[in-house]
Structure 1
Amino acid sequence: MHFLVLNTLNSHTATPQVNVQDRAFNYGDGCFTTMYAYNRCLFNYSKHISRLVHDTSRLRIYLDVPLLVNKINDLLLTSVGLDNEAIVVKIHISRGLGGRGYELPVKAETMVSISFHKTTAFSANSIASIYRLKMCSFPLSSQTLLAGIKHLNRLEQIMAKIELADTQDAEDLILADQNGNIIEAISANVFLKVNELWLTPSLEQAGVSGVMRRLVLEYFAAQGIAYKVTNISAEHLMSASSVFLTNAVKFIIPVSSYQNHKHESVAYNNDVLSDIANGIFTASQSDCKA
């Protein structure tokens, strides 16, 4: 297993070179995870490692977990620019070099890229009070073999970002599958409250099973908060009293409206959503690698 490291916080760090024969470059043959860190502390550390283990196993990519963990630990201790800073740590895993066409190489050498990027420190006070959603014009493809995995084939999300740039009065788009079932936002999972029951979409056909989504479901179960993982329609979003998105870097994002239908969850003025956000942040911080 080989490593490439990019620290964008240090201007003196050389940019690593990627071989054009890398299967991630040619075929998107790999997966990744994106982690929030503050002052050299990686939040939700064990869940991110668990996700990488799950996804590489599904894709049949070799991952030496102890070696990866040791490398992350070493970088956290020695890298420049991490003290008292909020950063995004991206771990990108490729099957490696070679293979003719789609055929796998006889002996694949997994390539792991780890990069550091500056971000804004999480604070409930910094969350925008206006975060509007609209429906994306095209559906996500359904593929049960890849559903839930954060694989490297993200062209649908890129096309959604292009559409969002041309969309007025929206900060994000909701993506549905070919059957009209709500799946996710562009880079976040979705939760909504309908008749005192929290709902989140089933991801058996498409979508990314996010680390923060998993944490919210665990929090709901621990707190005795009623929830259900199920198929969700656009009508559910229209009738929801509260909606929020989850993302490993932004934690919880309250939604103010969907298709101009306003929700109660404006910023953290909603007491229930505020409790959830504080609980999730505390749980994320407790699962920390420093």
Structure 2
Amino acid sequence: MIGAAAGWPLDDRGAAYGDGLFETILVRDGRPRLWDEHLARLARGCHVLGIPMPAEHELAAPLAEAGEGLAVLKLTLTRGSGGRGYRPPADPAPRLRWQLSPFAPQESRWEEGVRIRHCRLRLGIQPLLAGLKHLNRLENVLARAEWSDDAIAEGLLCDSEGRLVEATAMNLFWQRDGQLETPRLARCGVAGTLREALMERLAIAEVDVGPEALLAAEAVWVANSVQGAWPVVRLDAADGQPVGRWSLGPAHRDFQAEAHRLLGYPPPAST
């Protein structure tokens, strides 16, 4: 279901320019997971873009429509209409839309692990927008269009200077020499809410490295606040040739278990 008057006016700045933000939230039995982290990221985005932050009760209103079981709530906030061309209005009237959809996680990917690949596309560097979940996601769309094989679960993205950043819709983590690591997101990329919560609970180092770092890793994961954590068992180059393989072990399951506790998912089966 779509709330707050379905559809967008043609002059909405979010539709025209990507001038807005969105959050995708896992809801379990009417209760949002990582709600505080989602609100904090949305507030950061509103501050950077200069869009008034809606009141929490406005953002939480769609939860009244959620029933039992799992659902995903997508909140989309734009600057609204107005302004002239790229020049934003001096006094914006933000527009909030929401969509609530039933959801079922892909449990086989939790248990069996996933195959991922490197993408050819490189992310542009823009520190002002780094970490935000803004509406201009054309880079991710083009990266995801690079493959159609359903056996490949995700694609890894580097920035224009060759540093690892993220996957197309998930954050990236690995363990190297016993240390958990994740790419630093000071130049580009989306700082996921599950990533934020995990970094508060686990000793995860933020690093600036190229993709070669993964070849020295004992374990690799991709994760987000909806799907949970998928252990990686195979990594392919952009041409489809395998460049890394991992067997599932206790390290994979320990990290997964922490991620799944935060989302209310069951712990993974031991390996």
Letter in 2 for 1:180: G
Counterpart of 1:10 in structure 2 is none
Q: Tell me which residue corresponds to 1:213.
A: 195
Does structure 2 conserve the Cα–Cα contact (< 8 Å) formed by 1:23 and 1:98?
A: yes
Aligned to 2:7: 17
Deviation (angstroms), 1:277: 2.3
Decide which of 164, 172, 193 is 2:154's aligned counterpart.
172
- Letter of the aligned partner of 1:135 in structure 2? H
Residue pair 1:34, 1:88 contacting (<8 A) in 2 also: yes
Offset at residue 113 of structure 1 (A): 1.0
Which one of 73, 76, 97 corresponds to residue 63 of structure 2?
76
Structure 2 counterparts to residues 11-160 of structure 1, below 5 A: 16-64=6-54, 67=55, 69-77=56-64, 79=65, 82-121=66-105, 127=110, 129-160=112-143
Do the aligned residues in 2 keep the contact of 1:61 with 1:110 (CA within 8 Å)? yes
Q: 1:239 aligns with which of 205, 213, 216?
A: 216
Tell me the alpha carbon deviations over residues 169-215 of structure 1, each in whole angstroms, 9 at most, x when there is no partner: 52211100111111000001100111111111011111111101111
Distance 2:216 2:109 in 1: 27
Q: CA RMSD in A?
A: 2.2
Secondary structure in 1 matching 2:124: coil
Query: What is the Cα deviation at residue 280 of structure 1?
Result: 2.6
TM-score computed with the length of structure 1 as normaliser: 0.83
Distance 2:153 2:255 in 1: 22
Give SS of 1:276's match: helix
**Which of 256, 275, 278 is the matching residue for 2:233?**
256
Unaligned runs of 5+ in 1: 8-13, 222-226, 286-290
CA distance in 2, matches of 1:83, 1:169: 32
Q: Deviations over 1:225-262 (max 9, x none)?
A: xx311112111112211000111101111111112211
Equivalent position SS for 1:49: helix
**2:175 aligned residue (188, 193, 210):** 193
Note if contact 2:62-2:98 (Cα within 8 Å) is conserved in structure 1.
no
Check conservation: 2:219, 2:251, Cα contact below 8 A: no
Whole-Å Cα distance in 1 between the matches of residues 109 and 182 of structure 2? 25
Cα pair distance change 1:273/1:219, threshold 3 Å: farther
Q: Where in structure 2 are there 5+ consecutive unaligned residues?
A: 237-241, 265-271
- Residues 130/271 of structure 1: CA separation in 2 closer, same or farther (3 Å cut): closer
| Secondary structure of residue in 2 paired with 1:137 | strand
Q: Cα distance 1:44–1:100, how it changes in 2: closer, same or farther (>3 A)?
A: same
Change (3 A) 1:283 1:248: closer
2:165 to 176, 183, 192: 183
Q: How much has 1:128 moved relative to structure 2?
A: 5.1
How far does the alpha carbon of each residue in 1:263-288 deviate from its partner, in whole angstroms, 9 at most, with x for none? Answer: 133xxxx2233233222332345xxx
Q: Structure 2 vs 1, CA of residues 229 and 61 (structure 1 numbering), >3 Å: closer, same or farther?
A: same
Give the distance between the partners of 2:109 and 2:69, measured in 1 at CA: 16
Matched residue type, 2:76: H
Report the Cα distance in structure 1 between the residues aligned to 2:170 and 2:224, rounded to whole angstroms.
5
1:71 positional shift: 2.7
- What TM-score comes out, normalization by structure 2 length? 0.88
Q: Deviations over 1:85-128 (max 9, x none)?
A: 211101111001011101111321011111101210575x6625
**What is the number of equivalent residue pairs in this alignment?**
259
Which of these residues, 202, 205, 222, is aligned with residue 184 of structure 2? 202
| Corresponding residue for residue 267 of structure 2 | none
Corresponding letter in the other structure for 1:43: R
| Contact 1:88 1:119 survives alignment (8 Å) | yes
Does the Cα contact within 8 Å between 1:237 and 1:258 map onto a contact in 2?
Answer: no
Equivalent position amino acid for 2:92 in 1: A
